Amino acid sequence: MDLAYTPEEEEFRARLRAWLTRTLPLLPPKPSPDDWPARRAYDLGWQRRLYDAGYAHVHWDASPTVRLIFLEETERAGAPYVGANFVGLLHAGPTIAAEGTPAQRERWLEPILKGEEVWCQGFSEPDAGSDLASLRTRARRDGDVYRVTGSKIWTSHAEVADWCELLVRTDPDAPRHQGITWLAMPMDAPGVTVRPLRTLAGSAEFAEVFLDDVPVPVANRVGAENDGWRVTMVTLSFERGTAFAGEVVACRRVLAELAREAHGNGRWDDPALRRRLGRLEAEFRALWRLVQWNVGEATENGVPGAGGSVFKLRYSHARQQLYDATADVLGDAALDLDRPWVLERLSSLSYTIAAGTSQIQRTIVAQRVLGLPKGR
């Protein structure tokens, strides 16, 4: 892909930068991390501002370079992160755009872009983890609806979600990777119970979701019945390939702040720490290049390829290393939960598990990138 910015793209950057300068001071204060209803309202409000200003479509329709400029400028300005819109905007929406019917695209895509509806992801299960093919939640066809029974876990934003991208087993006798279907389930359907989970960092952004004979219209099925594994690979390609792109920019900003903190408190005199931060700078520069490649591939081919697993594997590791380095810079203050980066350090522990464990990513890289034979 051509990474050079055209005059038109630089003009886009200037307009976006000016709009951010005018708009960000108008935002209300950020709500408490534990107040998810307030966080939902805040995140949807920001998404609506982006929509009204003509920037909401950038993630889906813009050229690779414009998307990258958007990520760079919003992060540079300290704009809100996608937050509760993460699933809808960054992988459920792109999946529906790629695999949905015209009626499904008309129903769901615009409300996501306008900041009217929040999505969560019902993929992981208590006994399956990242091995999605082991899922046990079943759906039985009953006329115009599927009757869904089972449970999901580690469901981000389920407490405030309107819709769930849900994987169900529709043919229990089929091989593991067949007989699976991708459904859009309304979270207010009868039989849905959400139980929030509190993490090590104190947040309750995850939940258990229990499904007791939940009716889901057949019209909400994305892709063919029993073809859900293929649709899921599209979803995971977006999740691993491009959904974390903005976080790489954020990590590079944190790294710069960490270096300034080290200069200020005298820890910069430690040559081992300087080498550590230098290696991290090189790592995140390389990851940004990989982001550019994945975004370009997604634009050219419709979805990112196996390069998404390469990115996810390296990004998860680099993020943990970055926040581990904050402990060296902060010293004893790293035990103070009110200091910057301390909660993020605790949260970073989950990144080698979230969106597919590092073991799963290594398997994908070995088989699809390196062409190695499957293990037993």
Q: Which residues belong to the active site?
A: 239
216 DSSP β-pair partners: 146
Q: Quote the CA–CA distance of 94 and 67 in Å, as a whole number.
A: 14
Integer angstrom CA distances of residue 272 from 114, 175, 275, 309, 328: 48, 52, 5, 30, 10
Residue 267 phi, psi (nearest 5): -75, -10
Beta bridge partners of 166: 122, 183
Which residue is associated with the tokens 């695999």? 99
Nearby residues of 328 by Cβ (< 8 Å), 6 or more positions away:
267, 270, 273, 276
Q: Phi and psi for 68 in degrees, rounded to 5?
A: -70, -40
Q: 99: Cβ–Cβ under 8 A, 6 or more apart, which residues?
A: 182, 222, 223, 231, 234
Q: What is the spatial distance between Cα 178 and Cα 190, in angstroms, rounded to a whole number? A: 28
For 87, residues 6+ apart whose C-beta sits below 8 A from its C-beta are 118, 119, 120, 121, 156, 157, 161, 165
Task: Give the span between the Cα atoms of 339 and 189, in whole angstroms.
Answer: 41
Distance of CA 269 to the CA centre of its chain: 37
